[in-house]
Every structure is written in C-alpha cells, then in structure tokens.
Chains A and B, each alone.
Chain A
Amino acid sequence: MSAPVVVLAPEIILVVVAATIYVAGAFARSRDVWVWLALGGFLSAAVAMVMLSVGAVGGPISVDGMAIYVRWLALGLGALLLLTSSRPSGQGSTPEYVGSLLLTVAGVMLAAASRELVLLFMGLELVSIPTYILLYLGRRDAASQEAATKYFFLSILASAMLLYGFSFLYGATGSTHLAVIGQRLASPEAGSLWLARAAMVLVLAGLGFKIAAVPFHFYAPDVYQGTTHANAALLSVVPKLAGFVALVRVVDVALEGARDDAWPIVLILAVATMTVGNAMALWQQNLRRLLAYSSIAHAGYMLIALAVSMATGFGTTTAWEGMAALWLYLLVYAVATVGTFAALSCLGRGAESVQSVEELTGLPWTGGRVRPVLAWTIGLFMFSLAGIPPLAGFWGKLAVFASALSVEGPVEGIRGWFIVLAVVGVLNAAVAAAYYLRIIGVMFFRRPLGVPRVREGTGGALAVAIFSAVLAVAIGLGPGIWFRDARRAAIIEAEAPRPLPMAAGGVQTADAGLRPGGEVGQGVGFGSGL
C-alpha cells in the first residue's frame, strides 16, 4: 500500500503548478508562458500517472480501474480545454484562467480516486469553485455575468443538497468511508433503510445538477448561451465527468442495499432527461443553447447506462455491461462536444462570437483556408453526436442501448422496463438527428449569407478541433481498444478496508490515524478510522 501523497502525486502536481501560476501571474506580465507552464503541468501529471500506476487498496483513496480511466480522461480533456481557451478574452486574467482550469482537472481526478465522503465532496468542490471563476473570467458583459451568477447560486444549492445527503449517510452508518457504508447498510443489523433512501434522493438531486439531468437542468441553456465557447466546452464535459464518477461511487457502490429503489429513479430520470433535452433542442436558434440541450440529452443516454449498471451490478462479465457503456459514451461524447466548441470558438471577432445557427450558413463555401476545415470538422462532430455509424458516437449509442437490452436482473419484470427504456432511447436518438442534421444542412446546402471572421491566433483551438475530429474517426473505425479500456473502467473496488469493530457508542473515534505505530504506517490520518 502506498501513501496517499504518492498516489495523489498527479493531483498534487496540478495544484502546485496552479498555485505557482496564480502567484507568479500577479507579479509577471507575460501571457503565453502560463499556457505553456500549464501544459507542462498536465504533462508532468501524466508522467506521474504512468510511473505510479500502483493501486492503494483500503484507504480513503483507491486507484481502481474507474479511477485510472477517469483520471486519464480528465487529464486529456484538461489539455484540450486549455488549448481551446488559449486566448481567453478577459484582459490580463490569463494566469487566473489557466490556474482555475488546472484546479478543476485536479478536482475531477481527486473525486475519481476518493472512496470517502469528505474527500469526494472536497474533490467535487474543487471542480465547482474554480468553475465559478472561469465563468466570470470568460467575458465581461452583462449576459456573461448573469450566467456566472446563475451557475454560482444553483451550484451552491446543489452542493448543499449533496452534503445534506452525505450527512444522512453518515448518520445512518457512522462512517464516511464508502465501502464501510455499503457494508453496514447491507448487514442485517442495519434495520430499515429509510435514511439511506433519503440520502440517495438527495445525492441524486445534488449530482443531477452537475450532470444536467432534467429536473435540475434549467441553468444549462442560459449559462451556455451567456458564456464563451471555451467555457461552454468545459461546462459540458468536466462537471459531467465528476458527477458521474461520484454517482457511481456513492449510489452504485455505497448504497448497494438500496439499489432496487435506485434504478427505477435513475430510469425515470433518464427518460425525462433524454426526451426534454431533445425536444427542446429542436426549437433552438442559438448555437450554444442548442448544444446545451444536446448535452442534457446526452446526459440522459448516459443515465440509461447508469440505470443498467444499478439493476445488474457492475464488474459483470457480460458482453454489454452498463458501467463500461457509461464510460465509453462519456468519452465519445466529450470528444465530439469539445471539438465542436473548439471549432466554433475559432470564429468571431474581439469579444463577439458566433451566436446563431444562421451565422454558419454556407460556411464551407465562404473561402479561406480555415473556414472549410472548421465546417467539415463541425459536420463530423454533428454526425458523431447523432450516432451515425462510421464515427465514435455510434459505438457509444450502440453500447448504451445494447446494455439496456441485455438486462436480465433478479427482479421480476425488470427486463421489460429496460426494453422500454432502450426503445425510448432509440426514438430519442432519431429525434436528435433532426437538429444535428439541421446544422449540417444550414452549413453545406445553403448559399453563404456573409463571411464569418476567423479569430486571430486561435491555432490552439483549431488544433483541438482537428485532433478531436481525428480521434472521433479513429474511435469509430477501431473501437476495440476503446471498448477494452471502458471495460477496465468498470472494475470498481468495493471492499471495505478491513473488518472494522463496531464502536459501542455508535460513532467511532477519529484518533485511529494519529496513534503512533501500526496504524500510522499507512500514512492515512482521516478515513482509516472514520
């Protein structure tokens, strides 16, 4: 077992680089150096990930298959987002922007590796709080400030609900370690599970905000519309990544005993999220608003996979596994979404950016070298998001729907529900194709109305768009290795650290880690006893 300092080295590297950039940015006036420094930080974190691929078993931190997958995904997306926003329009706030981006990535990675309620919440807040700053720094006009304020207040409300749910879990079991919580809720002396059920509902509500599931989605269209393309890219992938990893850790693993109550709720959320997202996206004229509803709808497809994994359990050896489908879908969705926003952020002038779908009219035929490339990449991403076969999005949708069709749970009649769910999902995918193809139709099959300006110095964003397009095609043509990786991500460590004695007073004391000698050898102060 390695000490947490060693296991968390990638996160620590990111935080140290972020702190350096913040403080040094207050002294020096340079601009590009911060982006390069942050890229160096991502690279060193990746090196640390490779060198320290040993798992720590039992403590508050676990580097299981899911943690490794999500941490790599977060690092890669972080680098892409950094290049997309390499020219934030806020004057002189580059260090703050870059530092906050590093912190959000560190937060996702921390949340992915934590098996402990307090650490998990800290990871999630490390995602949320820098996101407020990023939204504020994106652009300095009234709409952007309104978006930042809306996101701030609603996100705080969601965090409060999540924390309230965590407090119920602690009250019900006397432990903050997720595996211990699961163990105690499953034990016969746990009694009724009503506290755990209340906790589950609150956690689903709190994390539902992060993934933009439907009753908690209202912020998304307004915030996406108000902020920049780079920030919209961040909002559409990073909180979703953190939210889904936390959902899996808490609802799937710790609340295993309440699973029969959980999957119907998630199933209903999935249907509502897909349907509302797609139905609303059909009517949107604003590009970022449309993509916001599209990201809501995609959260719905991912919730299908989550419901499947809750109904059948994870780590099974069936061909179409819910958890593996979830992680594969998140990857292909993130590639296409970040690519789309990166391509869109290349257009515009000064603080202005492309707003409506109409502004893309006839984009490939407007001449120049960059505009046709942008149009073709956006077209490719739209096809991928719609799930057209030779591209990455198809495999994501196939995995999700096939996993729903292959459910054979222990509960009577469960199979019928998931067949209905898969049918609703496929119908939704067909509806979604309408608005993705509308964008393609507007771009390729109409005469140009005007010539949109290509922003100066957006080489980074253009590179991200092209790289994402290549990746979308590569995943589409050779999905084997990506399926294999996603299946590895479904390996989740769920055992309790070691048999814990039940304390007489109900709640255990926290001094276990501070005792000199044996316990301290793990280097884990918090969490080993609590």
Chain B
Amino acid sequence: MQVSVLPVFLLMAFVAGLAVVLILVGYVFNPGRPTPVKRMPYESGMDPLHDTRRRFDVRYYLVAIAFLVFDVEILFLYPWAVVFRSGPAWVFGGGMVFLALLALGFIYDWKKGIFHWR
C-alpha cells in the first residue's frame, strides 16, 4: 500500500521557500539605519545582563533528567488511563509494571542524593 506523501513534501518546500523569501525581502528592502538600542536582542525588553553562553551547574541537568522521566511517564499514563478499564487484565498489569520500574528509578535517584541541592 502506498500512502501519498506528496503533500508533506509540498509543505516542506513551501516552508523552506517562505523562509528564504522572508529573509531576502528583509535583507533587500531594509533602510539600514542601526542604533545601539535596535541591535539589542530584545529591543524593548530588559537590558541583557551578560552573554548567554555561560556554564551551568551540573545539578540543573540532573533535575532536568528527573523531570523528563516523570514528563514521559505522564505522556504514557494518559492513553493508558483511557483504555485500561476496557481492556483485559494485562493492560492494567502492564501499566503497573511501568510505574514500578519508574518508582525504582525514583528510589535510586533519591538514594543517590540528586534531590539534595548542596
């Protein structure tokens, strides 16, 4: 069976073409009178404090990973919550196994002390 994918490629071509056209229009037709205020990243926002490239504490990444685990967990739990009543018993059991594995990961994280912000 061949699913038609032509619209997808048309959309991709349109998006790429539009991006090029917009940049070109701005580049060709702009009057080109820069001032220091205009060159700031946010013209009407806060004054930037420093460069955006700086080092992060590695603990941010640990928190990000722990967040991601539970984020994905919720992603899986929504469809599961919809169907587990109508399905056979192993649908419920499978979800419980999934939750148990996540709980193990949580215990591991906790014991390893990633929730301590020293």
Contact = CB atoms under 8 A, between A and B. Distances in A.
Contacts of B88: 514, 516, 520
A84 interface: no
Interface in A19-38: 19, 22-23, 26-27
Contact of B1 (A19, A23, A174): A174
A174 B5 CA distance: 12
B87 A516 contact: yes
A78 B102 CA distance: 25
Contacts of B5: 171, 195
B86 A191 contact: no
A191 B2 contact: yes
Interface in B40-64: none
A241 B1 CA distance: 32
A30 to B, nearest CB: 15
Contacts of A172: 2-3
B104 interface: yes
B83 interface: yes
Contacts of A195: 2, 5
A506 B5 CA distance: 12
Interface string B1-34: 1110100000000000000000000000000000
Given A174-B3, A190-B2, A514 B104 contact: no
Contacts, number: 47
B24 to A, nearest CB: 30
B90 interface: yes
A22 B104 contact: yes
B1 A514 contact: no
Contact of A23 (B3, B87, B91, B108): B108
A22 B108 contact: yes
Nearest to B113: A26
Contact of A26 (B86, B87, B90, B107): B107
B58 to A, nearest CB: 13
Nearest to B87: A514
Interface string B89-100: 011001000000
B112 interface: yes
B111 interface: yes
Contacts of B108: 22-23, 26
A184 B3 contact: no
A66 to B, nearest CB: 27
Interface residues of A, number: 23
A172 B2 CA distance: 5
A190 B87 contact: no
A405 to B, nearest CB: 39
B1 A190 contact: yes
B101 interface: yes
B90 A523 contact: yes
A23 B104 contact: yes
Contacts of B104: 19, 22-23
A184 B91 contact: no
A27 B111 contact: yes
Contacts of B91: 514, 525
Contact of B101 (A19, A189, A190, A507): A19
B1 A189 contact: yes
A514 B86 contact: yes
A2 to B, nearest CB: 14
Contact of B83 (A173, A184, A190, A514): A514
Given A19-B104, A516-B88, A523-B90, A26 B111 contact: yes
A502 interface: yes
Interface in A179-233: 184, 189-192, 195
Contacts of B107: 23, 26
Interface of B: 1-3, 5, 83, 86-88, 90-91, 94, 101, 104, 107-108, 111-112
18 contacts: A23-B104, A23-B111, A26-B108, A26-B111, A27-B111, A171-B3, A174-B3, A189-B2, A190-B2, A192-B2, A195-B2, A506-B1, A506-B3, A507-B3, A514-B87, A514-B91, A516-B86, A516-B87
Given A26-B108, A26-B112, A171-B3, 4 more contacts: A22-B108, A26-B107, A184-B1, A514-B91
4 residue pairs, one from A and one from B, having the closest CB atoms: A26-B111, A191-B2, A514-B87, A506-B3
